């Protein structure tokens, strides 16, 4: 059973999500919140597996709520719903600790699959959307990023793990990584898990940010 907290300032939107999620046996809606401050409070109180987070809300927005919830170090993972093309906060949400993104016009089955994936510790961004986000994100990365040798976490990675990190930073799927290095997907999953643990990333999305910040991926990559 995956417990979910729904956060959206639109009552009708919250109702729609609740009806959908309650129609599925494996999901349990444990609460709702209409703004960020309420989301932070209820996340701490209810400790849901997944917080379905809107971005634009009155008062505390979804970005700050995401930052506070993830900073608390609890079990909850954040799945942000965004219009993407119109939402200028998507990159801030990545940095705040969101574990994934779905467009608000996603099909019900995509939303349900996304919730399951995030609850299981995976990142939820379709490969095509990942690359669009990365392309946009790259425009906001400072030109003078620091030398990769300055981060001691890279020294803990094997050569193959560093190659995997670079591939993650490029938005490659496990299947694409497996084909590139001629290994099985299960082997790739093992490598990815080790990379995330060594660099202290909560999930794949945070590994992408790490790779971009160090200049391992994107324009000017080393």
User: Mind listing the pLDDT tens digit for each residue in 41-71?
Assistant: 999 999 999 999 999 899 999 999 999 999 9
DSSP state of 124: B
Residue 101 forms beta bridges with which residues? 80
**Structure token pair of residue 104:** 């608000």
- Number of residues assigned to the chain: 222
Helix (H, G, I), strand (E, B) or coil at 49: coil
pLDDT digits (tens, 9 = 90+) for 77-116: 999 987 765 556 667 777 788 888 888 888 898 889 889 8
**What residues does 80 pair with on adjacent strands?**
53, 101
Query: Measured on CA atoms in the order 62, 67, 69, 75, is the torsion positive or negative?
Result: positive
Spatial neighbors of 86 by CB under 8 A, at least 6 apart, are: none
Task: Evaluate if residue 143 carries a pLDDT over 50.
Answer: no
Structure tokens at 79: 């799945």
Averaged pLDDT for residues 191-200: 92
Q: Label residue 145 left, alpha or beta by phi (over 0 means left) and psi (-120 to 50 means alpha).
A: beta
**CA–CA distance, 205 with 108 (Å, rounded to integer):** 22
pLDDT band at 146 (very low <50, low <70, confident <90, very high): very low
Instruction: Supply 215's token pair.
Output: 């200049």
Strand, helix or coil at 103? strand
Q: Output the six-digit token pair for 63.
A: 């970005």
Q: Crossing angle for the helix pair 159-169 and 185-199, nearest 10 degrees?
A: 90
Q: What's the confidence (pLDDT) of residue 148?
A: 52
Is the separation of the CB atoms in 219 and 135 below 8 Å?
no
> What's the rounded Cα separation, in Å, for the pair 94 and 209?
8
Say how far apart CA 8 and CA 1 lie, in whole Å: 22
- Here the contacts of 184-189 (C-beta below 8 Å, separation 24 or greater) are 188/164
């Amino acid at each position: 059973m995956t417990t979910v907290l729904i956060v959206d300032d639109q009552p009708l939107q919250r109702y729609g999500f609740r009806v959908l999620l309650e129609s599925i046996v494996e999901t349990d809606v444990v609460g709702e919140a209409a703004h960020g401050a309420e989301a932070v409070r209820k996340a701490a109180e209810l400790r849901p597996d997944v917080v379905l987070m809107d971005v634009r809300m009155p008062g505390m927005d979804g970005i700050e709520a995401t930052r506070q919830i993830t900073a608390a170090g609890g079990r909850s993972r954040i799945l942000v719903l965004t219009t993407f093309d119109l939402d200028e906060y998507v990159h801030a949400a990545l940095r705040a600790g969101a574990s994934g993104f779905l467009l608000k016009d996603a099909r019900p089955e995509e939303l349900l699959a996304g919730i399951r994936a995030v609850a299981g510790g995976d990142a939820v961004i379709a490969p095509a959307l990942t690359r669009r986000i990365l392309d946009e994100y790259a425009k906001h990365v400072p030109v003078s990023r620091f030398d990769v040798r300055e981060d001691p976490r890279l020294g803990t990675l094997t050569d193959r793990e560093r190659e995997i990190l670079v591939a993650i930073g490029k938005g490659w799927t496990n299947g694409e990584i497996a084909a590139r290095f001629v290994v099985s997907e299960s082997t790739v999953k093992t490598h990815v898990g080790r990379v995330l643990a060594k660099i202290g990333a909560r999930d794949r999305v945070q590994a992408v940010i790490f790779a971009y910040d160090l200049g391992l991926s994107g324009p000017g990559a080393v």
